Amino acid sequence: MSSSFALIATGALMSVFLMMRSKNPVHSVFYLVLLFLHCSGLLVLLGLEYFVLLQLLVYVGALAILFLFVVMLLDIPSTEILRHQRGTYPVAGVLGLCLILSALLAFTQPLVESPFQTSPIPTTSTFTGQNSDFVSSSRHYSFWNNYRTATSTVANLGIRLYGVHADLLIIRSLLLLVAMVGAVGLTLKRPVSVPNQDVFRQHYVDFQKSLVQIPQNKI
Amino acid sequence: MTEYVGVLLYIAIAVGLGIVILFRSYKVRPRRLDLEKATAYECGFEPFGEARSPFDIGFYLVAILFLIFDIEVAFLLPWVLGGISTGSSGFFAFLLFLVVLTIGFVFEWQKGALEWS
């Protein structure tokens, strides 16, 4: 566990470093995608499958494209971006110092009862403490063992989301609706009144009727 | 954690294949670089301007609308994996979720956000 964590965390740090150092902003976006992939690997190690999926679907799939579009929308030459990047080193230095200090503090004062250190498999110590005679008899233990079913966190989330907290789902859909209306209202250009090509009308022209023979006396 | 060994294997094979292809093409190809080949070439002229040109904002609108429907799909996945067991009430919540988003879809269609003129 810890070796894979070290591998993925090192990869994430390296991709962050490359993202900061790369001269081309488009390359920076690609290194950002690499960073998102490493973050999803860290989430796999934590056992949060749904967040892995969200990370891959939303961040890698859609937000990276948005970042790329932002880079391409802004008409800034690469040399100008480089010139602006030079001023960020003091800020990055202060943030890095904070990171190193917090890491050192975490190493020197390890919290045993940290809320973040939860084991993915629930321990049975809480059950054995209350009714120990129930568990100690092997017959009952095997009885409960038959009913043990393993459900993934995504399946549990589905039951919670659609069974218990369905109202939150509806509120979320309204939020997405507001986002959609806002995006359309902010970025939609007014349709100009020029004769546009209507593809459907062009395809459904009846060829037999489109050519009309004009009588001779009309010419 | 052992159920992700297949994914790890897949990633390892993909990365290894990529490394092999890049490395072999780097080693096998002839390298005869001369001064004329290394110059920037644009129809026989020196390059006129930046290769990067600003996009139309319509691309951004399409990307944002895609992002919203992407999040919608991400919320539909827990229903497939576990929400089916919630029965008809869960199904109607699912349908209501889809109906509200379909209203938004119809709105943007009628506003012409999906048109490209």
Share of chain A above pLDDT 90, in %: 20
Nearest CA in chain A to B51: A77
Q: Which residue carries 């059950």 as its tokens? A: A127
pLDDT digits (tens, 9 = 90+) for A144-171: 666 666 677 788 888 888 888 889 999 9
Both A3 and A70 in one domain: the answer is: yes
In B63-102, the residues whose Cβ lies within 8 Å of chain A are 63-68, 70-75, 77-86, 89-90, 93-94, 96-97, 100-101
CATH number at residue B95: 1.20.58.1610
pLDDT given for residue A47 in this prediction? 82
Both A8 and A69 in one domain: the answer is: yes
Both A65 and A104 in one domain: the answer is: no
The crossing angle, in degrees rounded to 10, of helices A25-46 and A64-73 is 160
Both A60 and A24 in one domain: the answer is: yes
Both A31 and A69 in one domain: the answer is: yes
Residue A46 has pLDDT above 80, yes or no: yes
In a domain, A24, yes or no: yes
pLDDT given for residue A62 in this prediction? 87
Contacts of A158 in chain B (CB under 8 A): 77-84, 86
Confidence check on the interface: ipTM exceeds 0.95, yes or no: no
In a domain, A40, yes or no: yes
Find the length of chain B.
117
Residue A202 has pLDDT above 70, yes or no: yes
Both A63 and A35 in one domain: the answer is: yes
pLDDT bucket at A128, cuts 50 / 70 / 90: very low
pLDDT digits (tens, 9 = 90+) for A85-115: 667 778 888 999 999 998 888 777 655 655 5
Nearest CA in chain A to B91: A162
Both A3 and A59 in one domain: the answer is: yes
Measured between CB atoms, does A179 come within 8 Å of chain B? yes
In a domain, B116, yes or no: no
What pTM did the predictor assign?
0.68
In a domain, B83, yes or no: yes
Which residues neighbour A120 within 8 Å (Cβ) at sequence distance 6 or greater?
A47
* Average pLDDT score over chain B: 84
CATH number at residue A26: 1.20.120.1200
Residues A147, A150, A155, A157: what is their CA dihedral angle, to the nearest 10 degrees? 90
CB contact under 8 A, A176 and B71: yes
Both A59 and A12 in one domain: the answer is: yes
Residue B9 has pLDDT above 90, yes or no: yes
- The Cα–Cα gap between A137 and A145 comes to 13
In a domain, A9, yes or no: yes
Q: How far is B115 from chain A (nearest CA, A)?
A: 10
Contacts of A155 in chain B (CB under 8 A): 78, 81-82
CB A16 within 8 A of CB A56: no
- What is the span of the domain harbouring residue B83? 2-111
DSSP-assigned letter for residue B114: T
- Per mean pLDDT, which of A33-42, A78-87, B82-91 is the most reliable? A33-42
Mean pLDDT of B74-92: 87
CB B116 within 8 A of CB B58: yes
Residue A83 has pLDDT above 80, yes or no: no
Both A93 and A40 in one domain: the answer is: no
- The Cα–Cα gap between A190 and A143 comes to 69
Share of chain A above pLDDT 70, in %: 70
In a domain, B117, yes or no: no
pLDDT given for residue A112 in this prediction? 60
Share of chain B above pLDDT 70, in %: 91
Total domains present in chain A: 3
pLDDT digits (tens, 9 = 90+) for B33-76: 887 777 776 676 777 766 667 777 778 888 888 889 999 988 88
Contacts of B103 in chain A (CB under 8 A): 177
Total domains present in chain B: 1
Both A68 and A27 in one domain: the answer is: yes
Closest partner residue to B81 (CB to CB) among A152, A179, A191 is: A152
What is the helix, strand, coil percentage profile of chain A, to 5?
A: 75, 0, 25
- What is the span of the domain harbouring residue A90? 84-111
DSSP-assigned letter for residue B42: B
Q: How far is B7 from chain A (nearest CA, A)?
A: 11
pLDDT bucket at B77, cuts 50 / 70 / 90: confident
pLDDT bucket at A137, cuts 50 / 70 / 90: low
pLDDT given for residue B30 in this prediction? 85
pLDDT given for residue A126 in this prediction? 45
pLDDT given for residue B15 in this prediction? 93
In a domain, A171, yes or no: yes
- The Cα–Cα gap between A16 and A28 comes to 9
In B4-43, the residues whose Cβ lies within 8 Å of chain A are 4
Nearest CA in chain A to B60: A69
Closest partner residue to B65 (CB to CB) among A63, A161, A180 is: A180
Both A99 and A70 in one domain: the answer is: no
pLDDT given for residue A176 in this prediction? 92
Both A4 and A54 in one domain: the answer is: yes
pLDDT digits (tens, 9 = 90+) for A169-197: 999 999 999 999 998 888 777 666 667 67
In a domain, A42, yes or no: yes
Closest partner residue to B104 (CB to CB) among A152, A169, A181 is: A181
Which residues neighbour B104 within 8 Å (Cβ) at sequence distance 6 or greater?
A176, A177, A180, A181, B68
